[in-house]
Amino acid sequence: MKRKKKINNILVHLFLSVLAIIWVSPLFWIILTSFRAQKGAYTSSFFPKKYTFNNYIKLFTDTGILNFPRMFGNTLFIAICSCIISTFFVLSVAYCMSRLRFRLRKPMMNIAMILGLFPGFMAMIAVYYILKAVGLSEGSMIRVALILVYSGSSGIQFYIAKGFFDTIPKTIDEAAMLDGATKWQVFTKITIPLSKPIIVYTVLTTFIAPWVDFIFARVICRANADYYTVAIGLWQMLEKEYVDSWYTCFAAGAVCISIPIAVLFIFMQKCYNESMSGAVKG
């Protein structure tokens, strides 16, 4: 029986190793392509014949046709603003739905669940004309428009955070209110410190959404190249007039845009681990 169990464990680990290799291979290939010296989208070998840093240098210095640094800055600004606003919206709505009781609570939850079943781009045209009507579709207001689009409906994604708030005993809130705390003080000084895991999840999801979005950014920015995001910039690098000379830069750009997400994930994971260790000690 022990021998059979050992063989099964080896097979399971072998299967998981194969899946890991399959999952990591495209990422590894993108990294290798970003250092490839040969131009063009097609190559006869998996590993580059020559390696160079010129793709990264060109990506950040050759701004005459595709200004990647400006696109990166636009996306970073929009993602940070949207992340802050969306996190506040999601946590506030989730707390209200978890702790407060009012007449329209269940109908609102049902409406939010039904609306969540439909993809956001279904309202894309209507959103664009609304933004155009209020003067947010031209010039520097495009950044404001994108922030509003990404954060405006974020509160509807409250179900996961609500489920976490439901696990926090209500007796803690009641004890704090008996001591004279208001609902806002209970939310900010008791509930939020106990909810770091769901805050980490919310921050990550609300940051990644505008960082990788293409559809809404393309519709709202249109031909305003000064306000393009990195998703639009990478898409342009694959167009037929640019793909031959910019494909390896596209791979370099794909690596670069993954760095902020990786840094944010590592930082937030550290906060999550600290919060969990503190909870265990308590």
Per-residue pLDDT of 72-117, as tens digits, reads: 999 999 999 999 999 999 988 888 888 888 888 888 888 888 877 7
- CA-CA-CA-CA torsion sign (128, 133, 136, 138): positive
Asked whether residue 48 is assigned to any structural domain, the reply reads no
**Per-residue pLDDT at 282:** 38
Residue range of the domain that includes 244: 70-281
Asked whether residue 8 is assigned to any structural domain, the reply reads no
23-41 pLDDT tens trace? 888 888 888 888 888 877 7
CB of 227 within 8 A of CB of 143?
yes
- In residues, how long is the chain? 282
Query: Please, which residues bridge with residue 124 across strands?
Result: none
Residue 70 phi, psi dihedral angles, 5° rounding: -70, -40
Segments of the chain scoring below 50 in pLDDT:
275-282
Asked whether residue 223 is assigned to any structural domain, the reply reads yes
Asked whether residue 12 is assigned to any structural domain, the reply reads no
Domain count, the chain: 1
Tokens for 72, please give them: 């990166």
Asked whether residue 207 is assigned to any structural domain, the reply reads yes
**In terms of Cα–Cα distance, which of 222, 214, 262 is closest to 238?**
214
The CA distance from 248 to 34, in Å, is 5
The CA distance from 10 to 8, in Å, is 5
Asked whether residue 58 is assigned to any structural domain, the reply reads no
Asked whether residue 104 is assigned to any structural domain, the reply reads yes
Asked whether residue 105 is assigned to any structural domain, the reply reads yes
Say which CATH number the domain at 98 has: 1.10.3720.10
In the three-class reduction of DSSP (H, G, I as helix; E, B as strand; rest coil), residue 85 is classed as helix
**Per-residue pLDDT at 278:** 43
Within a 10 A sphere around the Cβ of 177, how many other Cβ atoms? 13
**Per-residue pLDDT at 1:** 66
